Structure 1
Amino acid sequence: MDVTSRYSLNFPTSIRFGAGVIDELPAYLKAQGLQHPLLVTDPLVKELTFFKEIVKSLTLAGLSVEVYADMHKNPVKSDVLKGKDFYGSTGRDSIIGVGGGVPLDVARAIALSINHHRDLFDYDDLIGGDKYVTEAIPHLVTVPTTSGTGSEVGRSAIIAEDDTKKKRILFAPSLMAKMVFADPVLTMDLPPFVTAATGMDALTHNLEAFLAKNFQPLCSGIALEGMKLISESIVDATHRSDLESRAKMLMASMMGAVAFQKGLGVVHSLAHPLSSLLDTHHGLANAVNLPFGMRYNYAGFEEQFDQMAYMMGLGPKAGDKFVDYLFDLNQALNLPIRLSDIGVEDGHIETLADLAFADFCHPNNPKPVSREDFKKLYMEAL
């Protein structure tokens, strides 16, 4: 530890957590003097019973509700701009993001756009755009319905360019939600595949955050506890879907999102191009690449792998068993373990390697990753 340096350590917003807390949403909005919320969700969630019940409860409380659900599976700039126009044309005074990472990212990006009038990607954090985030955003509330990205407690949104599909990061501390309603009941009806894939996304966040080279010991501790919760619950949540396992997964998902302000790494850089090029579900892309990325990181970080293995129930000094555990976990969740199983072909490898090397996550990996390393990793995983 460099005791001569100074660090800014930030943690997220207020959270209401527990079964049934969603019924507090109408009273919360009214207490804030808000009457015209825009609910931002995706086309699938919009049709689900629990979402319709949320709309009904807000309407019965005397609130004027509009719903925006026009977005892609991997959100693009035009999704945000259409949402901005809808917010203005319908006279909204607040934004409630409901769903997984996609609608929560779109909700946050819409919130940014309301009072910030530069081109949306001028606010890209990777080019210093956070300095332009100077105005207040509309009152933002987030309601997670998956246990994966943890976007509900985040301060960034990943939005892609419409034409190139290049991902951009919109970031600022002021983009955090004012309140999170984290109700595990809303995750109970997720199908097994979505539960497994989003759960492996949450696990990847915790693992990569723990290994990331940035100094953030608070995040490292949170990441370890997040791993423990996931190891105790992900298989049950996928195959039995009891409330206890769902609650543990939802908490671990938020913990992963808090932890990865420390950074991510090689696995996310392997996964992002699959979403961009082949429209692969992000959690699935992480799941398949996770054992290979962790195997790449093992040498030189044996002590950290021992810690992770212990937290996930493998016993002391079991870091050398960790990669096999990840392969076995994917199989226990009925997830594929090879890229060829999710549509990747030999002809994709060169482009994937280019995109992975250009990705923004691997600079925080504990060891450097070259373009050739990415190519080898894709070939190993194929």
Structure 2
Amino acid sequence: MSFEKIHQFNFPTTIRFGANVVKELPAYLKANNLKAPLIVTDPNVAQLPFFKEIVADLRKNNISVEVFSDIHKNPVKSDVYKGVDLWDATNRDSVVGIGGGAGLDVARAILLRINHREDLFKYDDLIGGDIYVTNDVPHFITIPTTSGTGSEVGRSAIIADDETHQKKILFSPKLLAQTVFADPVLTMNIPAPITAATGMDALTHNMEAFLAKNYHPICDGIALQGMKLIHESLETATNKPDLESRSKMLLGSIMGAIAFQKGLGVVHSLAHPLSSLLDTHHGLANAVNIPYGMEFNIAGFEDKFRTIARTLELEKDNGEAVVQYLFDLNSKINIPHHLRDIGVKMEHVETLADLAFADFAHPNNPKPVSREDFKQLYLKAL
């Protein structure tokens, strides 16, 4: 397949995929009579040459641009409120989210709040708040800059409470982007450590979605192909990136996010507290924890692990081979094998276990996970 060519997929969002497809953005906005987008991104992306080029290209086409980038690495409610204040003050007509998970989460939460002005966490999906998402939302476009979260094709945003750091999920099919411009060229210059961490995040999404206990054979098929693409490309994309490896990683990331509507599991519940308590990068938290979480899941699900092992073309088709593969892959892309290497200390374990047990992801794990299980997993990974 040529990665120079632009392709279009619909799942159900329209995805424009291919090298330099982002150059279609000005014409797309004009065709939809949109003249004043609020561009939401994170402070790092806002400084990058490609981002400045996107903004300059829009202005050259007489499109009024406001940029909001005052957000935290792990977004909090006040970030969203500040973004909506800018929307109100500058008379915008659409939202364009550009970035990785943080930028796209804040963009989606701003999108929700524009026409839903009660407390943001009233809309928390974990307490049934999605039923209050009743009004229309503005036109929404997403442009991913990493191959990790797959937030560009999502319909939810994870935002933490400023004080308690507890993560809430804002969810509604209304929050799907109308169009995604997935341009692998934008991911070409991401530093190797971020490529590695976000890539392992994407692999975790596919692997956990495939194992999740809900019945969804469509997601299972997508997850397996997503794993295959990441297996073929992550090491190259990290250590010696080219257009093919970056394209496969971006597709694998998108597929993981489509697949995990089926659910996630124990690895994400291990990872989320590291971000909220210690501000650990989400992808890195998943990367270090995934071998331990997968090992926990093997017993009783040997058939599923056999399928994963065959998809990854491993010599032995069993769960132990999958776990060893994950450790080996982490080594090849310079991700440590232990939590102590990313700032976790023994005194954090009890609090992490509490937060992990309270997390929303593990109820979809193929087997139940107790608080004691989480504690033992953290101790093993430490």
Q: What TM-score, normalized by structure 1, do the two folds share? A: 0.97
Which residue of structure 1 lines up, in the alignment, with residue 31 of structure 2?
Answer: 31
Which residue of structure 1 lines up, in the alignment, with residue 302 of structure 2?
Answer: 302
Q: Is the 8 Å Cα contact of residues 12 and 258 (structure 1) preserved in structure 2?
A: no
Which residue of structure 2 lines up, in the alignment, with residue 213 of structure 1?
Answer: 213
Q: Is the 8 Å Cα contact of residues 307 and 319 (structure 1) preserved in structure 2?
A: no
Per the TM alignment, residue 316 of structure 1 is displaced from its structure 2 partner at its CA by 6.2
Question: What are the residue-to-residue correspondences of 1:9-28 with 2, within 5 Å?
Answer: 11-28=11-28
Q: How far apart in 2 are the matches of 1:74 and 1:42?
A: 10
Q: Does 1:92 align with 2:81?
A: no
Q: Does 1:373 align with 2:373?
A: yes
Counterpart of 1:169 in 2: which secondary structure? strand
Per the TM alignment, residue 351 of structure 1 is displaced from its structure 2 partner at its CA by 0.2
Per the TM alignment, residue 312 of structure 1 is displaced from its structure 2 partner at its CA by 1.1
Which residue of structure 2 lines up, in the alignment, with residue 322 of structure 1?
Answer: 322
Question: What are the residue-to-residue correspondences of 1:83-232 with 2, within 5 Å?
Answer: 83-232=83-232
* Gap regions ≥5 residues in structure 1: 1-9
Q: How far apart in 2 are the matches of 1:191 and 1:128?
A: 39
Tell me the matched-pair count.
373
Q: Is the 8 Å Cα contact of residues 295 and 320 (structure 2) preserved in structure 1?
A: no
Q: Is the 8 Å Cα contact of residues 210 and 224 (structure 1) preserved in structure 2?
A: yes
Which residue of structure 2 lines up, in the alignment, with residue 59 of structure 1?
Answer: 59
Deviations 1:23-43 (A, max 9, x none): 000000000000001110000
Structure 1 residue identity aligned to 2:305: F
Per the TM alignment, residue 315 of structure 1 is displaced from its structure 2 partner at its CA by 4.3
Counterpart of 2:327 in 1: which secondary structure? helix
Deviations 1:180-226 (A, max 9, x none): 00000000000000000000000000000000001111001000000
Which residue of structure 2 lines up, in the alignment, with residue 272 of structure 1?
Answer: 272
Counterpart of 1:367 in 2: which secondary structure? coil
Deviations 1:82-137 (A, max 9, x none): 00010110110001000100000000000000001111000000000000001111
Q: How far apart in 1 are the matches of 2:299 and 2:253?
A: 27
Counterpart of 1:43 in 2: which secondary structure? coil
Q: Does 1:75 align with 2:84?
A: no
Q: How far apart in 1 are the matches of 2:346 and 2:38?
A: 44
Structural RMSD (CA): 0.9
Between the two proteins, what is the percent identity of the paired residues?
69
Structure 2 residue identity aligned to 1:227: M
Q: Does 1:248 align with 2:248?
A: yes
Q: Is the 8 Å Cα contact of residues 302 and 318 (structure 2) preserved in structure 1?
A: no
Per the TM alignment, residue 317 of structure 1 is displaced from its structure 2 partner at its CA by 2.6
* Gap regions ≥5 residues in structure 2: 1-9
Counterpart of 1:244 in 2: which secondary structure? helix
Per the TM alignment, residue 11 of structure 1 is displaced from its structure 2 partner at its CA by 4.2
Counterpart of 2:44 in 1: which secondary structure? helix
Q: How far apart in 1 are the matches of 2:86 and 2:199?
A: 32
Q: Which of structure 1's runs of 4+ aligned residues deviate more than 6 A?
A: none
Question: What are the residue-to-residue correspondences of 1:36-55 with 2, within 5 Å?
Answer: 36-55=36-55
Counterpart of 1:162 in 2: which secondary structure? coil
Structure 2 residue identity aligned to 1:112: L
Per the TM alignment, residue 12 of structure 1 is displaced from its structure 2 partner at its CA by 3.2
Which residue of structure 1 lines up, in the alignment, with residue 7 of structure 2?
Answer: none
Q: How far apart in 2 are the matches of 1:113 and 1:226?
A: 32
Q: How far apart in 2 are the matches of 1:166 and 1:292?
A: 24
Q: Is the 8 Å Cα contact of residues 12 and 154 (structure 1) preserved in structure 2?
A: no
Per the TM alignment, residue 318 of structure 1 is displaced from its structure 2 partner at its CA by 3.7
Per the TM alignment, residue 313 of structure 1 is displaced from its structure 2 partner at its CA by 1.7
Q: How far apart in 2 are the matches of 1:72 and 1:160?
A: 10
Q: Is the 8 Å Cα contact of residues 234 and 249 (structure 1) preserved in structure 2?
A: yes
Q: Is the 8 Å Cα contact of residues 19 and 185 (structure 2) preserved in structure 1?
A: yes
Deviations 1:247-288 (A, max 9, x none): 000000000000000000000000000001100000000000
Which residue of structure 2 lines up, in the alignment, with residue 4 of structure 1?
Answer: none
